[in-house]
Structure formats: C-alpha cells, structure tokens
Amino acid sequence: MLKRRKTRKLKVGDIFIGGNAPIVIQSMCTTDTRNVSATVAQIKQLQKAGCELVRLAVPDMVAAKALGKIKKRVTIPLVADIHFSAEFAMEAMRQGIDKLRLNPGNIGDEEKIKMVVLEAKKRKIPIRIGVNGGSLEKDILKKYKGKVTAAAMVESAMRHIKILEKYGFRDIAVSLKASDVERTVEAYRLLSSKVNYPLHIGITEAGTIFRGTVISSVGLGILLYDGIGDTMRVSLTADPVEEIKVAWEILKSLGLRKRGITVTSCPTCGRTEINLIELAKKVENELAFIDKDMHVAVMGCVVNGPGEAREADLAIVGGKNVGLIMKHGEILRKVDEKNLLKEFIKEVKKY
C-alpha cells in the first residue's frame, strides 16, 4: 500500500474526508440545479456508478432554494458551488447543504465573509477552497508578471485559508487546479508542505473523454503515488458518470480502493486465434453491473494466458476458435468461441 500524507479529518454528511478515511470520489452535476427532478435523477446515476460526493452549481437564489428539495430526495452528501455571493452561501446552508465550495475572499466585504464563515462554523459545514489557475486574483497575477504559476496558485490558496483561520474555522479542504499536469502537481506538492488540510485533487478542464482520461490519470496518478489527495474528481467533457468510472480505475490501479470488476486483457498478436478485442469489450460491458471486487482475465493465447489466469479469479485463455474458462488457474472447461462469452458470464455470476 502507498503511504498517504497525514491530514485533518472532515465530516461531510455521513462520510469522512482526510485522516485515515478512504479517498473519496466525487463529481459535479451537469444539470440545471433549478430543475430538481433532472438533478436528482443524475445524482442517483452518479451514486450507482460509485460516486460518493456530488457538487451542484448555485448560480442564483432559485438554485440555492432548490437544494433543500434535492437533498430530501437523495442519500449522498451534496456540495454547493458558490461564486461571489454570500447570500447564496447562506441560503445553501439553510437548505441543509453538507459542504460549501467557495473562496471567502470573493464573496463580498469583511462583514459578509464573517457572516458566512461563522454560520458554517455553527452548522459544522466544511468549506472547500477552490483555487483555479484560470481565475487568480489580479494582484497575485501582477506579482507573478501575469503568469499562472504553481507558486501563484498556492499564494492564492494561503490567502483564503488565512481568512477562514482568522475566524477560528478549521474544517477546510483545498483544491489547486490547473489544466495541465506539471503546474497542478507542482502546486499540490508545494501546498502539502505548508498545510495539513485535506486536499481535493483534479486536473481542471482536462478535456474530452479520451484526452481528459489520459491527462487526469497521469496527473492524479503522480499525486496519489506521492501520497497526496484525500478526495478527487476526474473532470471530463462528457457524461459525469464517465468521471466516476475513470476515478475508480485510477484508484484501483494503485491499490488504493477496490470496487467492481478489474479486467486484465492482452493486446493480441499474430498468435491470437479468437476475436479477442471484441470479446474483451463485451466482457467489460457485460460485467459493468457488478460492484464487488473481482479480477477477470481475457487472454488470447497460451503464452501469457495461463500465468494471468492464475492471478485472476476467473479467466478466458484463447485457442483456435475455442477458449478455456479457468478459475484461479484451474481449467473448468473448453468452450467453442461462439458460446464463450455466454458461458463465461454464467461462471462470473455463479462466482
């Protein structure tokens, strides 16, 4: 197991972030928060996929007031995403939100900041400071000659942290997101050397499902391997359910969380005598409904197949128009290629 950085522990609804708690997977609804039914439906889809915390945009007071209705219809903790408005933050808390995402320096004058922070403290609602490379304060940008550097992002985060600490508020999480791996990793490493607050990690605006998956996997993988990260979001220009799938695979690949099927499959070569590419895709799709930890292998030939089969709970090892179905390295039976998928799925369900 990788050694994780020790951080403070926050309670968000009925889950914990930081300390010795598992790394929490979160996403953000793409629905209009004012549309309660659509938002609830998407939240339930995300939760079914393995999401553990959902953030909702709060662009106006109508959206803020809708939070209570949404909250009553779901069981997952909710985060209100607030920008520039103390009033929206206050209403979100009255509606029973579990966490706020805001930058205290951006929600008004000193009295408004104090009002929000003290109310959050009274209600025991954590605040996530969200620094984004695309929206740093003008004076900080000027100091760094217009360049969004890791140091500039950390300076912005520390400024907001000090505002909260001024009022004795410590239930803080922090994110430092840029749209590239290098600055993001550098910023998180720098901040983690300065504070012990839990960190929400992600590569913001990472891109479409293909590029965004690659960029997020590289960036988040580096940070997680360093022990940095208490909660995470994979930001994709796609259905947010895809974010959850990628997040789980990243954590599973590092041995940090376990959930659902892990499919090992070979890249095929000239020795392969079954349609392995299609078979592997179908196995992955057919088994997506399983949320228990399980390892299966789909291998094309006898060179690496038996070895991978020993490592897997269940495996297919291809031959000429046939495949062996194996359990913990032991052969169960030989099956014609046309029936291989159906028979393999039967064995998985039995297992």
For residue 292, the model assigns a pLDDT of: 81
pLDDT digits (tens, 9 = 90+) for 67-81: 999 999 999 999 999
Whether residue 107 lies inside any domain: the answer is yes
What is the spatial distance between Cα 77 and Cα 54, in angstroms, rounded to a whole number?
7
Asked if 285 and 330 sit in the same domain, the reply is: yes
Helices and strands in the chain: count of H runs, count of E runs: 12, 15
Whether residue 1 lies inside any domain: the answer is no
The DSSP 8-state label assigned to residue 253 in this structure reads H
pLDDT exceeds cutoff 70 at 1: no
- CA distances to 52, 109, 229, 312 from 74, in Å: 12, 34, 26, 36
Residue 292 belongs to domain spanning: 261-350
Asked if 126 and 14 sit in the same domain, the reply is: yes
Q: How many domains does the chain have?
A: 2
Whether residue 210 lies inside any domain: the answer is yes
For residue 237, the model assigns a pLDDT of: 92
pLDDT digits (tens, 9 = 90+) for 149-176: 999 999 999 999 999 999 999 999 999 9
335 Cβ partners below 8 Å, 6+ apart? Answer: 322, 323, 324, 325, 343, 344
Whether residue 3 lies inside any domain: the answer is no
Q: What is the mean pLDDT of the chain?
A: 92
Whether residue 2 lies inside any domain: the answer is no
Percent above pLDDT 70 for the chain: 99
For residue 238, the model assigns a pLDDT of: 92
User: What backbone torsions phi and psi does residue 127 show, to the nearest 5 degrees?
Assistant: -120, 130
318 Cβ partners below 8 Å, 6+ apart? Answer: 272, 273, 274, 276, 299, 300, 301, 305
pLDDT digits (tens, 9 = 90+) for 18-40: 999 999 999 999 999 999 999 99
Asked if 77 and 214 sit in the same domain, the reply is: yes
Asked if 208 and 265 sit in the same domain, the reply is: no
> How does residue 103 score in pLDDT terms, banded at 50, 70 and 90?
confident
Asked if 233 and 213 sit in the same domain, the reply is: yes
The DSSP 8-state label assigned to residue 237 in this structure reads B
CATH number at residue 290: 3.30.413.10
Q: Which domain-ending residue is among 253, 274, 294?
A: 253
Asked if 248 and 291 sit in the same domain, the reply is: no
pLDDT digits (tens, 9 = 90+) for 245-266: 999 999 999 999 988 888 888 8
- CA distances to 217, 298, 314, 330, 351 from 295, in Å: 21, 10, 7, 15, 11
Asked if 235 and 268 sit in the same domain, the reply is: no
Asked if 205 and 272 sit in the same domain, the reply is: no
Mean pLDDT throughout 100-129?
Answer: 90
